[in-house]
Chain A
Amino acid sequence: MSLRLSRRTLLRGMLGGAAVSVGLPPLECLMNQNGTAYAGGQAFPKRFGVWFFGNGVLPDFWLPREVGPDYTLSPLLMPLATHKPKLTLVSGTRVATINTGPHLSGPAGLFSGDAIQNNALAHATVDQRIAEVVGAETRFRSIETGIQPSSNSYSYSAPGQVNPPETSPFALYQRLFGEGFRAPGESTAPDPRLALRRSVLDAVGAQSQRLRGRLGSGDRQRLDQHLEGVRAIERQLQRLQENPPNLAACRRPEMPASDYPEQGGRLPVLERSRVMSDLMAMAMACDQTRVFFHMYSQPVNNVLFPNASAGHHQLTHDEPGAQPEVQAILRLIMADFGYFLSALDRVEEGDATLLDHALILCTTDCSYGRTHSLDEYPMLFAGSLGGAFRQGTHLRAMGENASKVMLTVLQLLGVRANEYGVGPGRVTDGLGGLVA
């Protein structure tokens, strides 16, 4: 990787990197007596994220035998034992939209509420709908990330418009914490170049308007997406002229290595996952974003996990019997999810943690990988949105439409929605048991 012309160097050149520290009052002074909110009465922000992995689960080893708060963790969930009080396992639901695309129809039904069109999702996904509400104030409305190098994601900002994940820890660091980021206490002297950048964006916006009138509606929508991205940069420049959010746990993380290449044909999954988890946790601790969509691994991925004799996807189909190798991979994935939850849970916010103020949905692309079934859809939540979401239980919702879960999630995060989904995916009620 050429460091000479990296984004960091560039921004340092363009913006002058004029970060200077000014004395700010101790952070605790900014909170109220109870430590549940800022002194101004403003609550800690809600966060939402999807933590996705590919190739489904083994329902026999995923589902706990008992229901309710006193359930015993299943073998595949054992790596999450320390987080059990903050987990909610929802079982028994089914993605009701038509199942025509293995590994694709499930996430399409869950995240967009509808069947696939042209092998793509036909609507904006829940993370983006939530980001519209929850992410409006942050530097990044949402971030899309991943571990496995790929441009595919199940986060869509509009019909057919995928948000490719950032899978390089180095690039993610540069975007979040490179030039343009200021830790609490750092304040930037006014830089005339910010105004110049805005005038460039104005010119780009004007070109969009000129072009717009000459296009059909579909292409106009695509152009508007681009323009939306331009406006998002304008908002980022605006943020640069304000003081950074003042959060106690926020600090600039260590810069990751420039690359984490394969070793012996194996992706260093664990290493990459940990670096990404730490960066994502700090992105939220520093309130750079409140919404994420993380593609831990891709649908149909053939990643060679440590000690596995074949690629993950191949094993889900070809390994006989109880699939001990697939089980080992799933336990490893859950351990990585656990590492991420720990990273969030270490971030203290008042008398609770960032995880308590968040809602994370861990899910996959089908139920039983070998058959691509969409019944008994695996959905594991962590966090409680500050007590709004029920946690510490196994909620059995046999035969319920998975859309109900998503409707409740949307509503708890402040999205004004009375219904969710299309056709067989459509519901008008949430799943009441999820509300604390």
Chain B
Amino acid sequence: MRPVRAVLGALLVLAGCDEAAPVTADAGAVDAGLAPLVDQPFVAPAPVLRRLTRAQYTNTVRDVLGDDVVVPRGLEPDVERHDLVAIGASEASVSRNGVEQYQSAAYDLAQQVFRTPARRARWVTCAPAAVRDDRCAETVLSSLGERLWRRPLDEAERARLVGVAGQAAAALNDFDRGLEYGLAALLQAPDMIFRVEVGDSDRLGPYALASKLSYFLWNGPPDPALLGAAAEGRLGTPEGLSAEVTRMLAAPAARRGVRAFVSDWLHLQRLDAVSRDATAFPAYGADLPGAAREETLRLFERLAFEDVDFRDFLTTRRSFLNRRLASIYRVAFPVPVSMATPETFAEVTFDESAPRRGLLGHASMMLMHAHPTSSSPTLRGRFIREDLLCSPMPMPPVNVNTAIPEPSPNLRTLRQRLAAHSTVDSCASCHRLMDPLGLSLESLDAIGRARLTDNGAPLDTRGDLDGRPFSDLRGLAEALRDAPLLPRCVVFKLYRYAHGREDGDGEFGEIVRLERQFLLSGYRFQTLVTALVTGDAFSRIGLTREGATP
């Protein structure tokens, strides 16, 4: 992960953890007022070819072919690079097994479309005059193609697909079977699987821009209205673009889009791999990680669309729980048991005295940043530094003994054991940045239950965040809320997520502008999103690596 810049042109290089301090010093300037705008020419990096993530492939297929189609589960897995799946998607290709999986899915989906009368009727709007009717096939396949490839098809492309369908229709003596092969070709084409961010000059073309907008705001494909705006050139004017963005943010799919960002930012996909020892945690069940993920997604989504201060995500006493989570958190579940299914999430507000606040109290975070049989202050502290404050921690040095002492009468709690361990300088310089933060979260165990003791000894949850002391999780949450690096971090994450790559040196001015807008709005997430997509940088593309415009 590339760290956020502390000051213009000076990358924060974490060769060791001792150099981490300047971040907070510089961030103080932001705290005092506004970051200075940077007068620096914007230089757009080269465009990227982005593979659809699994979620984007699924959303594309469902939005276009019908939200009741069954999307096959075996699909090429996402790749995370530089801490984001969105960036991995710009670096990964498709493996041979992945190509086979896309093929299987394509034929499966094609059958679902043309062998279900209601779905067929939506696309086959002409009556075929014969088993092979190229004109009718062209009508069907070009409208499907425009939606799946997110742009109109050119003549050669239409002819090619019509040829495939016609050959199949003739061989199988069935017009619809022919269309199945045509649709299978559409679904397997790189134009479906990849998003091609190209243009004619230093700007994305209108259709590429429409896709970039919709996959960012909706995590799905452009709808006909957005394609219409692209066709009419409306995305090229500030008013036209602004109108589309307003419309898109009001659409239900915008919630899906916000969730996709939070999921990627906080790596919520990793909850799929979480497991806990049933002996150590009898209350754990395989349903817990999914419920915990939903809590985190719902809270962020709700705060974003209520248009409140984004930083409430850290400190709010509100949350969204199902019955399972309510029992883990030991709070009353407001829905009668007879009316609640595992999918029933209800809003609750924790008491003032409750041990949890915002994200840090979520079972999702406690489940992800832990070991299968115990919590891990180091992993929790690393999560705060890296994911919330964008301060990457270096890899542990090699050839050092990494063991922590076993519990003993003198070293009962993890805090005591870690302290005994942190006497090696090369380890301590980083661990002192992570462990104290994680130790203040020891009041929650590795599945998110509150506790007062560790191994029979009372917990000491005091700590400090870069000089600001606090006494427990609630104090840490407040300290993080006030940390200038928190909003800056989310600006960087969102920018990288939107563009599918790390930010280049020539983009720093734009990022400072966004951070400023964010601050001026009182940290309204929607304002940040709007500023990002309506900014000049969103549609700019640079030279490809060979130096030629694409």
Interchain CA distance A300-B478 in the complex, whole Å: 33
Query: 18 A-B Cβ contacts within 8 A?
Result: A4-B70, A162-B95, A164-B97, A164-B98, A175-B97, A196-B164, A196-B167, A199-B181, A214-B196, A215-B544, A219-B48, A222-B49, A222-B93, A226-B93, A265-B275, A265-B277, A370-B402, A371-B398
Cross-chain contact B100 with A214 (CB below 8 angstroms): no
Given the interface pairs A102-B396, A149-B273, A310-B371, the reply to whether A5 lies near B72 with Cβ below 8 Å is: yes
Cross-chain contact A171 with B181 (CB below 8 angstroms): no
Interchain CA distance A7-B72 in the complex, whole Å: 8
A309 at the interface (CB under 8 A from B): yes
Interchain CA distance A228-B94 in the complex, whole Å: 9
Interface residues of B in 218-236 (CB under 8 A from A): none
Interface residues of B in 19-73 (CB under 8 A from A): 46-49, 70, 72-73
Interface residues of B in 153-204 (CB under 8 A from A): 156-157, 160-161, 163-164, 167-168, 171-172, 181, 184-185, 188-191, 193-194, 196, 198
Interchain CA distance A144-B286 in the complex, whole Å: 27
Given the interface pairs A219-B49, A371-B400, the reply to whether A265 lies near B111 with Cβ below 8 Å is: no
Interchain CA distance A216-B157 in the complex, whole Å: 22
Given the interface pairs A207-B190, A211-B191, the reply to whether A10 lies near B107 with Cβ below 8 Å is: yes
A-side interface residues toward B, CB under 8 Å?
Answer: 1-2, 4-5, 7, 10-11, 13-14, 99-102, 118-120, 140-144, 149-151, 157-158, 160-164, 166, 168, 171, 175, 192-193, 195-197, 199-201, 203-204, 206-208, 210-211, 214-219, 221-223, 225-230, 232-233, 261-262, 264-267, 302, 304, 309-311, 314, 317-320, 370-374
Q: Taking CB as reference atom, which chain A residue is nearest B284?
A: A265
Cross-chain contact A162 with B167 (CB below 8 angstroms): no
The main secondary structure of chain B at its interface with chain A is loop
Cross-chain contact B99 with A371 (CB below 8 angstroms): no
Given the interface pairs A102-B398, A151-B77, A302-B372, the reply to whether A196 lies near B181 with Cβ below 8 Å is: yes
Cross-chain contact A320 with B164 (CB below 8 angstroms): no
Cross-chain contact B402 with A371 (CB below 8 angstroms): yes
Cross-chain contact B398 with A99 (CB below 8 angstroms): yes
Q: Contact check: which of A1, A163, A199, A318 meets B97 at CB < 8 Å? A: A163
Q: Taking CB as reference atom, which chain A residue is nearest B156?
A: A210
Given the interface pairs A119-B81, A203-B164, the reply to whether A226 lies near B94 with Cβ below 8 Å is: yes
Q: Contact check: which of A200, A211, A314, A374 meets B196 at CB < 8 Å? A: A211
Q: Contact check: which of A164, A223, A265 meets B372 at CB < 8 Å? A: A265
B290 to A: closest C-beta gap in Å? 14
User: Which residue, of B78, B82, B190, B286, has the highest number of chain A Cβ atoms within 10 A?
Assistant: B190
Contact residues in A for B544 (Cβ distance below 8 Å): 215-217
A153 to B: closest C-beta gap in Å? 9
B152 at the interface (CB under 8 A from A): no
Given the interface pairs A211-B191, A216-B544, A219-B48, the reply to whether A262 lies near B74 with Cβ below 8 Å is: no
Q: Taking CB as reference atom, which chain B residue is nearest A143?
A: B97
Cross-chain contact A228 with B96 (CB below 8 angstroms): yes
Cross-chain contact B190 with A265 (CB below 8 angstroms): no
Number of interface residues of B (CB under 8 A): 80
A237 to B: closest C-beta gap in Å? 10
Cross-chain contact A158 with B93 (CB below 8 angstroms): yes
Q: Contact check: which of A150, A216, A221, A373 meets B399 at CB < 8 Å? A: A373
Q: Contact check: which of A200, A215, A267 meets B188 at CB < 8 Å? A: A200
B420 at the interface (CB under 8 A from A): no
Contact residues in B for A140 (Cβ distance below 8 Å): 96
Cross-chain contact A229 with B74 (CB below 8 angstroms): no
Contact residues in A for B273 (Cβ distance below 8 Å): 149-150
Given the interface pairs A5-B70, A304-B373, the reply to whether A151 lies near B191 with Cβ below 8 Å is: no
Q: Contact check: which of B93, B103, B399, B405 meets A233 at CB < 8 Å? A: B103
Cross-chain contact A164 with B77 (CB below 8 angstroms): yes
Contact residues in A for B276 (Cβ distance below 8 Å): 265
Cross-chain contact A267 with B275 (CB below 8 angstroms): yes
Q: Taking CB as reference atom, which chain A residue is nearest B372?
A: A311
Q: Taking CB as reference atom, which chain A residue is nearest B72?
A: A5
Q: Contact check: which of A118, A143, A161, A232 meets B93 at CB < 8 Å? A: A161
Contact residues in B for A175 (Cβ distance below 8 Å): 97, 100
Contact residues in B for A310 (Cβ distance below 8 Å): 371-374
Other A-B contacts than A217-B545, A225-B94, 12 sampled, CB-CB below 8 A, are A1-B73, A101-B395, A102-B396, A102-B398, A193-B172, A195-B171, A196-B172, A200-B184, A203-B185, A208-B190, A222-B93, A229-B96
B278 at the interface (CB under 8 A from A): yes
B127 at the interface (CB under 8 A from A): no
Contact residues in B for A197 (Cβ distance below 8 Å): 181
Closest 5 CB pairs of A and B: A229-B99, A216-B544, A151-B77, A264-B278, A225-B93
Cross-chain contact A229 with B402 (CB below 8 angstroms): no
Interchain CA distance A5-B400 in the complex, whole Å: 52
Interchain CA distance A364-B494 in the complex, whole Å: 37
Q: Contact check: which of A100, A171, A372 meets B74 at CB < 8 Å? A: A171
Q: Contact check: which of B49, B107, B171, B399 meets A371 at CB < 8 Å? A: B399
B92 at the interface (CB under 8 A from A): yes
Q: Taking CB as reference atom, which chain B residue is nearest A149?
A: B273
The main secondary structure of chain A at its interface with chain B is mixed
Given the interface pairs A196-B181, A222-B49, A262-B286, the reply to whether A207 lies near B189 with Cβ below 8 Å is: yes
B179 to A: closest C-beta gap in Å? 12
User: Which residue, of B70, B172, B184, has the highest number of chain A Cβ atoms within 10 A?
Assistant: B184
Contact residues in B for A171 (Cβ distance below 8 Å): 74
Cross-chain contact A264 with B550 (CB below 8 angstroms): no
B91 at the interface (CB under 8 A from A): yes
Q: Contact check: which of B167, B281, B401, B404 meets A265 at CB < 8 Å? A: B281
> Per-position contact with A for B95-122: 1 when CB-CB < 8 Å, else 0?
1111110011001100110000000000
B146 at the interface (CB under 8 A from A): no
Cross-chain contact B190 with A211 (CB below 8 angstroms): yes
Contact residues in B for A162 (Cβ distance below 8 Å): 79, 92, 95
A363 to B: closest C-beta gap in Å? 18
B418 to A: closest C-beta gap in Å? 11
B403 at the interface (CB under 8 A from A): yes
B104 to A: closest C-beta gap in Å? 5
Interchain CA distance A198-B490 in the complex, whole Å: 47
B449 to A: closest C-beta gap in Å? 16
Q: Taking CB as reference atom, which chain B residue is nearest A370?
A: B402
Q: Taking CB as reference atom, which chain A residue is nearest B399?
A: A371
Q: Taking CB as reference atom, which chain A residue is nearest B199?
A: A214
Cross-chain contact B546 with A217 (CB below 8 angstroms): yes
Q: Contact check: which of B93, B94, B194, B546 meets A216 at CB < 8 Å? A: B546
Interchain CA distance A113-B395 in the complex, whole Å: 21
Cross-chain contact A226 with B193 (CB below 8 angstroms): yes
Contact residues in B for A13 (Cβ distance below 8 Å): 111
User: Which residue, of A119, A157, A228, A230, has the highest number of chain B Cβ atoms within 10 A?
Assistant: A230
A277 to B: closest C-beta gap in Å? 19
Contact residues in B for A261 (Cβ distance below 8 Å): 286
Cross-chain contact A161 with B403 (CB below 8 angstroms): no
Q: Taking CB as reference atom, which chain B residue is nearest A221?
A: B93
Q: Taking CB as reference atom, which chain B residue is nearest A219?
A: B49
Contact residues in B for A166 (Cβ distance below 8 Å): 97
Q: Contact check: which of A157, A218, A219 meets B95 at CB < 8 Å? A: A157
Interchain CA distance A387-B450 in the complex, whole Å: 62
Contact residues in A for B550 (Cβ distance below 8 Å): 214-216
Cross-chain contact A204 with B108 (CB below 8 angstroms): no
Interchain CA distance A233-B78 in the complex, whole Å: 22
Interchain CA distance A217-B48 in the complex, whole Å: 11
Contact residues in B for A374 (Cβ distance below 8 Å): 398
Contact residues in B for A4 (Cβ distance below 8 Å): 70
B406 at the interface (CB under 8 A from A): yes
B237 at the interface (CB under 8 A from A): no
Q: Taking CB as reference atom, which chain A residue is nearest B178?
A: A196
Cross-chain contact B371 with A320 (CB below 8 angstroms): no
Cross-chain contact A200 with B185 (CB below 8 angstroms): yes
Interchain CA distance A135-B386 in the complex, whole Å: 43
B224 to A: closest C-beta gap in Å? 23
User: Which residue, of B81, B108, B156, B167, has the highest number of chain A Cβ atoms within 10 A?
Assistant: B108
B347 at the interface (CB under 8 A from A): no
